[in-house]
Structure 1
Amino acid sequence: MKLVDIETVEPGQILGKTIFSSNGAILLSTGVHLTVYMISTLKRLGVTTIYIDDPMFRDISHEELLSEETKRAVIHQMSETFEQLRSGKNFSSKAIGQTIDDLLEDVMQNQNIMIHLSDIRTADNAMFLHAMNVCMMASLVGLNMGLNMLQLKELAMGALLHDIGKLGAPEVQEGRMHHSWRGFDLLKNKREYSLLIAHVAFQHHEAIDGSGAPRGLTGDDIHTYAKITAVANIYDNLIYPSGDQAPLMPHEACERLNAYSGTLLDHEVLVHFMRIVSIYPNGISVRLSTRQTGVVVGQHRGLPGRPVVRIIDKEGEEAVGYSELDLAQHPTVFIDTVLT
């Protein structure tokens, strides 16, 4: 499959990746033939890019850290949890715990897969996909940093619920009204949870240099769980920003994160994060320094900037074949531009 701009999609093209609704149900399934109405609806829902099933790239391996079943369960559970809180009810710690167990099982089974955030967001599911992605990325980083299972569960729980204080929060968030405070106050009263889980919500906007919120903590005063969650949170927000901010491509987001090393973000955590993230995800179109264009079709763990690129050979407008260039084997060739 191939990632394309929604504005270039034409009726009859085949959807390459499932799109979820806000409650975890399937909005559109992989393999559906897109209609004018479907394309129009996706645009109305705020979708900007989708994966299309392209015959030239049908064999591309697109491994996922989480199974579709786990994703549906996480999104559904977060939808239920947020709805319970909006209604003034208590949320189920047991249900959240089971969701975390399922997510961590997937992460541990697939820990050699590089992360790429490929699930399509809509205005309705964005909050829940954000929570899921931050949890997924934080868990994999924690695993690579050698955290034990108890620590991974605490980290994953805190990362999944890191923004829980945003529910009902005012637009201007200062002092005790900052959503980090609100999340801490909510989670610290859950007797089933370690207080460290509440501190993830409390500290994920703190910065190593003391410029963060809500308390201006520095360095070692910030818990490791919060440092890990902060990296995952900022990365996801750079890829899928809210408001009028322009989204960054994965390689641009990674460059931004590295610029924050030692100031906003912890350097050691960033080193581990960069080892597990796919800078140029499979399915993305690129232009090489040779001026050739192609689509990324393969990855090298530990060499995220040197993927395998499939270059389409054409006669006029017709594709007649392809060749593949492994950038790990051609050090003088590099990706010049990511195309959309």
Structure 2
Amino acid sequence: MRYISIDNVEPGQFLGKTIYSGNGTVLLSAGVQLTVYMISTLNRIGVTMVYIQDPLFEDVDTDDMLSDATKQGIIQEMCNMFEAVRSGKDWSTHQIGSSVESLLEDVMSNKEMLVQLTDIRTSDNHQYIHAMNVCLLSSVIGINMGLNYQQLKELATGALMHDIGKSGMDEEDEILPGLKSHHTWRGFEKLKNKRDFSLLVAHVALQHHERIDGFGLPRGLTGDEIHLYAKIVAAADTYDRLIHPILPQAKNLLPHEACEEMLTMSEKQLDYEVLIHFNRMVSIYPNGAAVRLSTKETGVVVRQHRGLPGRPVVRIVRGEGSHFDIKEMDLAQETTVFIEAVLT
């Protein structure tokens, strides 16, 4: 598979990864042959990048930590929960708990992988995939920091529902700092009386926009006043927002750009120790991404090295027609070669 801009997709190409609708149903299945109408529709609903199948890279997998069943279940459950909150109805904590357990089971089975956030976003599913990704990233950070299973479940539950206070609010209508109508307070109020959840779950919603330097929201907490779970979720939330911002005027950063930006936030906005663990487990050059090397050769990232997220294996293809010269360059071995640019 290759990861390319929707503007470069051509009719007749085959979709590499399933795209889900906002309620968790399949919008387009992996393997479907794309038509002009399909490509136009994807453009219209806010899709900017897609995975396509390519015979030269048919062995390239995105190495997803989560199974399709887990993803679909989480998206459906988040949609149901947000709709219930919007309409003032009760929602099932049991179903949320089951979704969290499924995610943790997948993560713990694949914890040697680097995290690659590869699901295709639309205007309808963006909010739910964001929640799923923040939960995934937070869980992997928690595992790397040595949290036990009960702690991981509290963390993952809080991460999955960190933005529940935004239900019924527009992204542009965030309220002034300190007011109880801020989405962090709203989330805390919705979660604090759910007896099936630890109170720490509600505090994740309350504190995930606090900053280490005390300039965060809603209470201006500093350093150790912020719970570890909230510090972890803050890093996960920041990363996902940088690579997939909700506001249309915001620039999408590439994964390596987002990681660099987050390093500038260390001990100001984000916790230094959390960032150390984050940077060890996230893939900054995901499989399928086209890159230019310092040798001026271009290729596609095909494999990762655990612990060396900046030194993947790159496949370089030369030639045309049916005659190709293919070689792979392992940047963990070729220490004088580096990735110069990601080609979008």
**TM band (smaller chain):** over 0.9
**What is the letter of the counterpart of residue 203 of structure 1?**
Q
**What is the letter of the counterpart of residue 335 of structure 1?**
I
**2:242: which partner in 1?**
238
Q: Which of these residues, 317, 320, 339, is aligned with residue 335 of structure 1?
A: 339
- The 5 A counterparts of 1:114-129 are 114-129=114-129
**1:305: which partner in 2?**
310
Tell me, in whole angstroms, the C-alpha distance in 1 between the residues paired with 2:180 and 2:162.
16
Tell me, in whole angstroms, the C-alpha distance in 2 between the residues paired with 1:284 and 1:251.
12
**1:167: which partner in 2?**
167
**2:276: which partner in 1?**
271
- The 5 A counterparts of 1:49-198 are 49-169=49-169, 171-174=173-176, 175-198=179-202
Is the 1:169–1:177 contact (alpha carbons within 8 Å) kept by the matching residues of 2? no
- How far did residue 144 of structure 1 move? 1.0
**What is the letter of the counterpart of residue 278 of structure 1?**
S
Q: Deviations over 1:144-167 (max 9, x none)?
A: 111111101100000000000011
Q: Percent identity?
A: 59
- The 5 A counterparts of 1:241-260 are 241-243=245-247, 244-260=249-265
Tell me, in whole angstroms, the C-alpha distance in 1 between the residues paired with 2:124 and 2:322.
39
Is the 2:18–2:26 contact (alpha carbons within 8 Å) kept by the matching residues of 1? yes
Instruction: Identify unmatched segments of 5+ residues in structure 2.
Output: none
- How far did residue 61 of structure 1 move? 3.2
Q: Deviations over 1:110-158 (max 9, x none)?
A: 1111111110000000000000000011011101111111101100000
Task: Indicate the SS of the match to 1:336.
Answer: strand
- How far did residue 321 of structure 1 move? 2.6
Task: Indicate the SS of the match to 2:104.
Answer: helix
Task: Indicate the SS of the match to 1:168.
Answer: coil
- How far did residue 193 of structure 1 move? 1.3
- How far did residue 318 of structure 1 move? 6.5
Tell me, in whole angstroms, the C-alpha distance in 2 between the residues paired with 1:120 and 1:70.
16
- How far did residue 319 of structure 1 move? 5.4
**What is the letter of the counterpart of residue 315 of structure 2?**
R
Q: Deviations over 1:63-112 (max 9, x none)?
A: 11100000000000000011111111011111111111111111111111
Instruction: Identify unmatched segments of 5+ residues in structure 1.
Output: none
What TM-score do the two structures reach when normalised by structure 2? 0.97
**What is the letter of the counterpart of residue 7 of structure 1?**
D
**How many aligned positions are there?**
339
- Runs of 4+ in structure 1 deviating by more than 4 angstroms, as ranges, are none
- How far did residue 322 of structure 1 move? 0.8
Q: Deviations over 1:284-324 (max 9, x none)?
A: 00001111000001111111111110011115x76513101
What TM-score do the two structures reach when normalised by structure 1? 0.98
**What is the letter of the counterpart of residue 314 of structure 1?**
G
- How far did residue 168 of structure 1 move? 2.2
